[in-house]
Structure 1
Amino acid sequence: MLVDHFYHLARSLQQAKLEPAAVLQAAVRGATALTGAPHGCILLVNAAGRVTDLRLNGTQLDPKVEMEFWLKLINEGLIRQVFQRSRPATVPNISVSPTWPRLESVPSLRWRGSAAAIPLLNQTNVIGVLALIHPEVDAFDEERMAALLEAGEVISEALNNALTYDALRRYPEQHPADLEEDTGQLRHDLTAMIYHDLRAPLHNIHTSLGTLELMLHANDPLMTEKLLRIAMQSSRRLIRMVKSLLDIDRLEAGRAVLHRKTTTFTALLNDLQTSVRPLAEEADQTISTAIDDDVPNLVVDHDMILRVIINLVENAIKHTPAGGAISVRAEQCSGEIVVSVSDTGPGIPATFRQEVFDKYFRIRHTERSTIEEMRIGAPVSETPDISTRGGLGLGLAFCRLAVEAHGGRIWVEDAPGGGATFAFSLPSEAAPEPERVLAMS
């Protein structure tokens, strides 16, 4: 159903972590799934009309032939039309369209069916174009176009957030002489992160509740329950984010925000299970938890420590491939209680293991794009460098501050068998009432 595709599109865009290239890839995959169109292209355009990045989905041709085909649409066809007019366009029947590119190198499969393209906007400025090809004539009817346009709004918002954050992160590199004096830069960074992290769950809530209204009239109790669950999960996540942002400010200012009470790891991990199980199931991952017999009760701020563990597990879910495993363990070691979260993801390079807990720190990788840089309606130019940046946001910074406020410490190391293990310690200061092993799968 459309709501499932919208939900997965929103989730994929959120998981793209403010990387423009990753947002583009998630967007074109989500749009093809939403509309049933097997072929898609999304491109990013700068103010001069130059194509700075491009992603394809459902390609079946030789890469050179594929690029020749889409270049025709960019320079002479549907994509150029949408860019110049800043409004959607469709080709109801490709076989009779005089403007559709016909190349001998392109199979006749691309000579029939229908196509649609929409602009991706920053207010009124076009920042990109999304184009889709469907094998059926008149496939982009009113209902399908309405869904595509709604998806376009979500994609445009995600792209704007990613581009804003990318520009902010580049500022210190482009203006090194002003770096020490630019005290407003951190505020800009925080604003960009808030845009990304808070808008994704807000959009999930908005979309779920809007569709829920329609489902109530359709009398579909199973879908109604699913939509309510999505909205509730997103709202709880939003509340956790806001609390963490407020706590970062207070903890950095030296203001005590702890509300200590006696709690158990069983209670913490049961609450963890409620929060993260749906995310793990959706990502096709397994989560196991265990508590050693000699782990005592705790005197901590239950909500804050729970948010620390949830942050670490959600971070593991994001960076662990489908079919992977995540384990959460609590044990007593040398008078401390140590909680560890291990995953089977790519791990954290040793050179970054201290910085990863700093605010605004992002692991950076640079790669060459295989797509040539283009200008709408102009000849092809040289290949650009594309910078992709993995983002860990403010979550780990909050974890460090929260753990240190409890008198503990936090670190990251290699996980046994590969991946990363994030661990933190807490002073053992409560009556030792043993816990039992809790399994979660």
Structure 2
Amino acid sequence: MPLTTTSLLLIGVSAGVALALAALALRRSAQAASEHQRVAAILAVARRYALGDLSRPAPDYGDDDLGRVARGMDQAVQELGRRVDSLARDRARMEAILSSMIEGVLVVDEQGHLQLVNDAARRILKLEQGAIDHPYVEAIRHPGIVEHIGRALAGGETSTLELSVTRDTTRTLVAQVAPVVTAGRGAVLVMHDITELRKADLIRRDFVANVSHELRTPLTAIKGYAEALLDDPEDADARERFLEIIHRQAERMERLVKDLLRLARLEAGQEIVEVAPCDITAIVRGIAADFEPTAAAKQQTIACTVSPEAATLQTDAAKLHDIIRNLVENAVNYTPAGGAINVSAVVVGGRFQLSVADTGHGIAPDDLGRVFERFYRVDKSRARPGGTGLGLSIVKHLVQVLEGEVVVENQAAGGALFTVSLPLGPDE
């Protein structure tokens, strides 16, 4: 049957509607595929964030609601990442600072578990590497520290505690515990090792006591003989004898003060080294001649031996003279009557070596390491035989100024042996 115009129109309209519906379906299908791809991209970024990869991706989130939500979440995560990085840098700086501190620092949380222990605290308290997260009462063996930490955790008052390390009683610590209340209760322990300060204080007190003792002896003599002169000024013989004693004691005090001042300059590094060729033979023999009368009075002998290669040395002649003189004086003072002192100079292993040996009683093993201390006496029950008690300490410092070494040992046959080793020249 022939188609009418109306029929053709209806067919055209139907075809158009069908095409429109097909186009709409295709568009919605394409949008669904695009939405699926965007959701998959967002999920992929979220998975990377969950794994700790906060590097910024570059997907197109779109301008609809889903895109705006995705961009907002991405910005929040990136901001959190920046804050986490900043906290990590701050923590690294804090750990570096704590590791470099000489003070021990220890942090305990409110449950009493160790949260932080720096290297100094681990070393002072002998803590094991796995002590973190363990109860402090198990890790710390010192009852005083445990008590103070417990008091701080309980909110009680704490005070500075001076104590000795349990496993090393020679060390002295000052510990301070403070409670933490800003972010949950806890406690922070800070420990200062004051062992060296205590040693320095002891040395200072011993030094003051020794100086007072060394000055008191001549001052007592000067005062006593001066009072005797005032009581009987007419006795000429007694006056001359008393004045000689006063003069001798005054010289002793003067030597002590000079030695103290020189020792202070040496310790402060204020001694200037003037290098020049030194005639070792002349120096050694001159010093031996100076002490010959004192040695002869004690029936002692002083022998000098200088090898040809050691006859000349590039060094500070005045300081070397003082080194040898103090060593020889020490030998003469502590060698019994009838003993012998031998001074020798040789070159050994490319270095100048000076030795001063005596035939005395030697030095006790416990005293060998201390004979170079100021005012140290090997036999404390006996009065000092002579000198100021600073000679060997000055020797040690002078040798160090000349970049050398000095050692003391006992000889197999008896007696002490002091050996000074110096470079042959300023460049050696």
Q: When the two structures are superposed, what TM-score results if normalisation uses the length of structure 2? A: 0.43
Higher relative contact order (CA 8 A, sep 6+): 1
Which protein is bigger by CA-based radius of gyration? Answer: 2
Q: Determine which structure has the larger helix proportion and give its number.
A: 2
Q: When the two structures are superposed, what TM-score results if normalisation uses the length of structure 1? A: 0.42
